[in-house]
Structure 1
C-alpha cells in the first residue's frame, strides 16, 4: 500500500514502515480505533492501539505516521518502550 493513499484504509492489512512490518486491524467495537502488531524486529507480537477522537477511519498515510511515532519511542535493541533513566526518582 502506498503512503500517499488518501481514502480510508481497509479493515485489515499489512504495512511496512522503516523496514518493520506491522499488521493493522480496525476495531469495529471502538470507532476510530486500530490495533498495530509488529511482525518483525526485536519484539515481534508487540504493538499498540491508537484511537481517533473524531472516530473517523484513518488513511494509509496516517497509519504510517502512527507507526513512525511508535518506532521513535521504542528502544531499537529491545523493541519496547523503555523508561528514561533521567526520569527515575532519586534514590
Structure 2
C-alpha cells in the first residue's frame, strides 16, 4: 500500500498551481470571494463582497503552499477584527 495521497482527494482550489475560478467563503456572516493570484502560488486576493465598501486584502505564503479553507477563514477573521465599525475600513 502506498503512502502517497490519492489524486482527487484534495479539492481542486486547494491544489498547488490552481489558477481557476474563485471560491466563495462566508465567515461570521460576511461574504468573501477568494482568488488564487495567477502565476503566484500561495498568493490570494480576498474581496469583501458584503462589506460597506469595495474592499479586501491580499495574502501570500512564503512557502507557496496552497491555503486550506480553515486557514482562509482564519485570515478573514483577522482582517475583520481590524475593521473600524464606524468607517468600515481598517482602523488607524
TM-score scaled to structure 1, two decimals?
0.75
Give the whole-Å Cα distance in 1 for the aligned partners of 2:12 and 2:90: 27
| Deviation, structure 1 residue 8 | 5.7
- After superposition, give the CA deviation of every residue in 1:30-61 in whole Å (9 maximum; x if it has no partner): 22100000011222x20000000110001110
Q: Give me the CA root mean square deviation.
A: 1.5
Residue in structure 2 matched with residue 35 of structure 1 by the alignment: 45
| Deviation, structure 1 residue 9 | 6.3
Equivalent in 32, 43, 61 of residue 22 of structure 1:
32
Equivalent in 27, 33, 53 of residue 62 of structure 2:
53
Runs of 4+ with >4 A deviation: none
Matched residues, number = 76
Structure 1 stretches of 5 or more lacking a match?
1-6, 84-91
Structure 2 stretches of 5 or more lacking a match?
1-9, 14-19
User: CA, structure 1 residues 32+57, in 2 after alignment: closer, same or farther (shift >3 Å)?
Assistant: same
Identify which of structures 1 and 2 has the higher relative contact order when contacts are C-alpha pairs closer than 8 Å and 6+ apart: 1
